[in-house]
Amino acid sequence: MSALCSVMVLSKDGNSHLKNQMQVAASMMVVFENYRFDEWMTGLEDARTQAVLLDGNKLTLKQLQMIQAAYTQGPWRAEVSIYLWQAGGSKANHCPDAIHLDYDHKDSAAVLTHICEDLQHKAQTPFYSALKTYVNRHTDSWHTPGHSNGDSLRQSAWASDFYHFVGQPMWQADLSVSVHSLDSLLHPQSVIAEAQHLAAQAFGARHTYFATNGSSTANKVILQSLLTPGDTLLLDRNCHKSVHHGVILSGARPVYLDSSVNQALGLFGLVPQKTILQAIAEHPHAKALILTSSTYDGMCYDLQPIIAAAHAHHIKVIIDEAWYGFARFHPQFRPTALELGADYVTQSTHKTMSAFSQAAWCTSMIPITTPIFCVKPSICMRLPVRNTAFWRA
């Protein structure tokens, strides 16, 4: 089945050099549709819109600057790329985040090809595609797991019902690291590495590393990577228990920050900003600060001043975004912790996005240099020096 996506073609009057049309690009149907400049917000609200093409010859410098401002500071969806179509690029400086298409206004075919190829790249599923190919080509199993593609249950007098309930494709897809074409989670070099790279692009990280066991494992991986026995960690006393576990495993010295309490609603709230800033001032040699944003009840910190204060003392900032992984994909929830400069972020895709139980990831601005040992899938991403990310899946 083909996916339908739309490219909004913007010009001053809605009459660009590119006519309305549909292109078939592998598994996608791509619709190029003209909009007047004053309709761009309406077009962006359409979930099918996956790219915006600016006709540079039919837009003013001021209009390009308005799009640039919306992209960096306004209601722009992070997954929607901007293209500026103009030969020579004399207007490129006025919308620097746009991908410049240096083609003559008569060369619309090259523009179509370029954008369709980019959309195909964004839609790639390296690991899933390799998994589907392997399952379709191999009908037997000579490695773990022992159910052997479900054969041990299919004819069972006791378990055949469970086999049919789950479905044959699920049993066939339950494979082990013995399948070399599916890469290795501990040392990814092919399809998992490609998938991690795409995940990093999607979530605004420089690198993404897939892990297992959800954000709980991702939290512990980060803490054990950053902290050594005796290091000081500033943490919310009401944080997830995986953080407390990480403190024990790393041997760090915790400085607990008490959360506020909303008496009217009977909820634990955030750690007051004054308390956090005071703790940073009193412990300037702390190695890291970890906070939960959003909380289970949907409360978020004003992170910008907190991150700035921590970084002024070279304190790494870790944000547990287990309940907030969707934030990057809706303008009202941005900027995300990574976009505000957090060093590490963990997210649970299974909590608020489309994923199986235990799926998650961690993003970061700084690379994790210590070995990673995991038992189940999750993700972690980072951003500062070299961005990193872990995914629970």
How many Å apart are CA 338 and CA 283, to the nearest integer? 23
Average pLDDT over residues 266-282: 94
Burial (0-12, 13-18, 19+ Cβ within 10 Å), 189: exposed
Average pLDDT over residues 246-270: 91
Tell me which residue of 203, 237, 239 sits closest to 219, measured CA to CA. Answer: 239
Supply the pLDDT for residue 301.
94
Supply the pLDDT for residue 50.
93
Average pLDDT over residues 322-331: 86
Q: Give the pair of three-digit tokens for residue 234.
A: 């500033």
Supply the pLDDT for residue 373.
32
Model confidence at 358, pLDDT cuts 50, 70, 90, reads low
Tell me which residue of 371, 310, 375, 374 sits closest to 337, measured CA to CA. Answer: 310
How many Å apart are CA 101 and CA 110, to the nearest integer? 9
The residue ranking higher by pLDDT, 392 or 47, is 47
How many Å apart are CA 200 and CA 328, to the nearest integer? 12
Write out pLDDT tens, residues 305-325: 999 999 999 999 999 988 888
CA distances for 128 relative to 4, 191, 211, 234, 369, angstroms:
20, 9, 16, 39, 27
Instruction: Give the count of beta carbons closer than 10 Å to the beta carbon of residue 32.
Output: 22
Q: Which residues contact 255 (CB under 8 A, 6 or more apart)?
A: 232, 233, 234, 235, 279, 283, 286
Task: Say which amino acid occupies 132.
Answer: K
Average pLDDT over residues 7-29: 89
Share the mean pLDDT of the chain: 86
For the chain, the maximum distance between any two Cα atoms, rounded to a whole number of angstroms, is 74
Average pLDDT over residues 91-108: 94
Supply the pLDDT for residue 393.
30
Supply the pLDDT for residue 254.
96
Is the predicted pLDDT of residue 266 greater than 50, yes or no? yes
How many Å apart are CA 353 and CA 378, to the nearest integer? 13
The residue ranking higher by pLDDT, 32 or 201, is 32
Q: Is the peptide bond before 96 cis (omega within 30 degrees of 0)?
A: no
Tell me if residue 252 falls in helix, strand or coil.
coil
Whether the Cβ atoms of residue 194 and residue 203 lie closer than 8 Å to each other: no
Task: Say which amino acid occupies 295.
Answer: T
Q: Give the pair of three-digit tokens for residue 48.
A: 């099918």
The residue ranking higher by pLDDT, 344 or 212, is 344
- To which residue do tokens 């760090």 refer? 252
Is the predicted pLDDT of residue 392 greater than 60, yes or no? no
Supply the pLDDT for residue 366.
54
How many Å apart are CA 264 and CA 98, to the nearest integer? 47
Supply the pLDDT for residue 132.
92
How many Å apart are CA 331 and CA 113, to the nearest integer? 29
Domains defined for the chain, CATH in brackets = 3-122 (3.40.50.300), 191-392 (3.40.640.10)
The residue ranking higher by pLDDT, 353 or 195, is 195
Supply the pLDDT for residue 363.
60
Write out pLDDT tens, residues 145-197: 888 888 888 888 888 999 999 898 888 888 887 888 899 888 899 999 999 88
**DSSP codes joined into one string, 261-295:** EETTTTEE-PPPHHHHHHHHHH-TT-SEEEEESS-
How many Å apart are CA 71 and CA 75, to the nearest integer? 7
Model confidence at 200, pLDDT cuts 50, 70, 90, reads confident
Lowest mean pLDDT among 29-43, 268-282, 364-378: 364-378
Average pLDDT over residues 29-46: 93
Write out pLDDT tens, residues 140-154: 778 888 888 888 888
Is the predicted pLDDT of residue 279 greater than 50, yes or no? yes
How many Å apart are CA 219 and CA 362, to the nearest integer? 8
Supply the pLDDT for residue 364.
59
Average pLDDT over residues 352-365: 66
How many Å apart are CA 209 and CA 186, to the nearest integer? 9
Instruction: Tell me the angle at which helices 303-312 and 273-282 cross, rounded to the nearest 10 degrees.
Output: 0
Most confident of 48-57, 135-144, 330-339: 48-57
Whether the Cβ atoms of residue 95 and residue 66 lie closer than 8 Å to each other: no
Report the share of the chain in percent with pLDDT over 70.
90
Is the predicted pLDDT of residue 378 greater than 60, yes or no? no
Model confidence at 10, pLDDT cuts 50, 70, 90, reads very high
Burial (0-12, 13-18, 19+ Cβ within 10 Å), 314: exposed
Average pLDDT over residues 9-26: 90
Supply the pLDDT for residue 287.
96
| pTM for this entry | 0.81
